[in-house]
C-alpha cells in the first residue's frame, strides 16, 4: 500500500512527516471483527479535525471486510479518498525495503509520528497478544514499542475499543486482561502518571452481528469519534 504520491519507503515517508506541525492520529484495525466496517466512518468523521493527519494500519484480513461487497463495506483503496488520510500501512510494508544499517524502521517511525493510536475494533485475540507482550505484526509491534516515558504530560495515548461476541466478552480472561490495561497501564489507573491506555468500554447490551443479544458490542462509533477529538486537544500544536 503506497503513500499518496510518494516514492520513498513507507518508513522514510513517515519519518519525514514527524514534524509537520499537524496532530497525528494512527487508526488501527485488526483482521477479524465485524466492527471493522466502522473504520471508514471513523476516519471520515475525524478528517475534519483542524490540522489533522491520519494514518491507518490494516491487516491483510481486513480485506475480508473491506472488499467492496456492500455500500457500508467499501474497498481498502477507497480509504485514500477520505481527506487527510495520508497513509495506509499493511504488515508487509515493514519489510518492503531490505533493511540495511541506518535504514528507518516502519513500526518505530509510526510510533514516533503518532500522538494518538486508536485500535477500533480491538479483538479478543489482539487484546491477548498485547497484554502478553507479543509483537507479531505491524500493529502489535507499534504497540510494543510505544513511547511510555513517565512524566511526559503530552505522552501519546493508546485508545482501544473492544468488540466481541457476548460469550467472548464475558469469558473471565477478558476481564483480567482489560483490568491490566486499565489498572496497570491505564491513564486513569493505579499510577496515572505512567499510564498510556484508555479503554473505551463496549455497549452494555445490543443485538450483535452474530445474532446474540448481549454485551461486547463496540462502543457506538460516534462516541468513539467524540472521545478521540476530545483527547486530541492534548496534542494540538499551538500555532
Ligand X SMILES: Cc1cc2nc3c(=O)[nH]c(=O)nc-3n(C[C@H](O)[C@H](O)[C@H](O)COP(=O)(O)O)c2cc1C
Tell me which residues touch ligand X (CB under 6 A). Answer: 30-35, 59, 94, 99, 105, 121, 123-126, 135-136, 141, 163-164, 168
Q: What is the rounded CA–CA span in Å between residue 4 and residue 49?
A: 20
Q: What is the rounded CA–CA span in Å between residue 21 and residue 155?
A: 17
**Per annotation, catalytic residue among 210, 222, 226, 237:** 210
Closest CA to 130 of 111, 139, 121: 139
Interaction between residue 227 and a copy of itself (CB under 8 A): no
Q: What is the rounded CA–CA span in Å between residue 225 and residue 195?
A: 21
Within 10 A of 203 (CB to CB), how many other CB atoms are there? 15
Interacting partner of 115 out of ligand X, a copy of itself, none (Cβ under 5 to 8 A depending on kind)? none
- CB of 222 vs a copy of itself, minimal distance in Å: 18
Residue in 8, 21, 78, 147 binding a copy of itself, rule: CB under 8 A: 147
Within 10 A of 9 (CB to CB), how many other CB atoms are there? 17
Q: Is 210 a catalytic residue?
A: yes
Interaction between residue 115 and a copy of itself (CB under 8 A): no
* Cell numbers that stand for 169 in this block: 466478552
Interacting partner of 96 out of ligand X, a copy of itself, none (Cβ under 5 to 8 A depending on kind)? none
3-class secondary-structure state, position 213: strand
> In sequence order, what are the residues at sequence separation of 6 or more whose Cβ sits closer than 8 angstroms to the Cβ of residue 101?
none
- CB of 81 vs a copy of itself, minimal distance in Å: 21
By annotation, the residues acting in catalysis are: 210
Binding site for a copy of itself (CB under 8 A): 32, 34, 37, 61, 64-65, 67, 69-70, 72-73, 94-95, 98-102, 104-105, 108, 111, 123-125, 127-129, 132-136, 144-148, 165, 167-168, 170-174, 177, 184-185, 209-212
Amino acid at each position: 500500500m503506497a503513500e499518496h504520491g510518494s516514492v520513498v519507503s513507507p518508513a522514510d515517508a513517515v519519518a519525514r512527516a514527524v514534524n509537520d506541525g499537524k496532530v497525528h492520529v494512527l487508526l488501527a484495525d485488526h483482521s477479524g471483527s465485524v466492527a471493522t466496517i466502522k473504520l471508514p466512518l471513523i476516519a471520515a468523521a475525524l478528517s475534519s479535525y483542524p490540522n489533522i493527519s491520519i494514518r491507518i494500519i490494516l491487516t491483510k484480513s481486513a480485506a475480508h471486510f473491506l472488499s467492496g461487497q456492500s455500500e457500508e463495506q467499501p474497498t481498502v483503496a477507497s480509504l485514500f479518498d477520505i481527506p487527510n488520510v495520508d497513509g495506509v500501512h499493511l504488515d508487509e510494508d515493514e519489510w518492503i525495503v531490505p533493511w540495511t544499517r541506518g535504514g528507518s524502521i516502519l513500526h518505530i517511525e509510526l510510533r514516533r509520528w503518532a500522538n494518538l493510536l486508536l485500535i477500533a475494533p480491538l479483538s479478543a485475540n489482539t487484546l491477548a497478544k498485547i497484554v502478553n507482550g507479543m509483537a507479531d505484526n505491524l500493529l502489535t509491534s507499534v504497540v510494543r514499542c510505544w513511547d511510555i516515558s513517565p512524566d511526559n504530560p503530552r505522552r501519546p495515548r493508546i485508545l482501544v475499543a473492544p468488540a466481541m461476541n457476548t460469550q467472548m466478552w464475558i469469558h473471565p480472561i477478558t476481564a483480567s486482561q482489560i483490568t491490566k490495561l486499565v489498572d496497570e497501564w491505564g491513564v486513569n489507573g493505579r499510577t496515572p502518571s505512567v499510564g498510556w491506555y484508555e479503554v473505551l468500554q463496549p455497549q452494555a447490551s445490543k443485538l450483535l452481528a452474530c445474532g446474540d443479544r448481549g454485551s461486547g458490542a463496540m462502543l457506538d462509533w460516534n462516541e468513539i469519534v467524540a472521545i478521540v477529538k476530545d483527547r486530541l486537544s492534548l496534542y494540538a500544536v499551538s500555532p
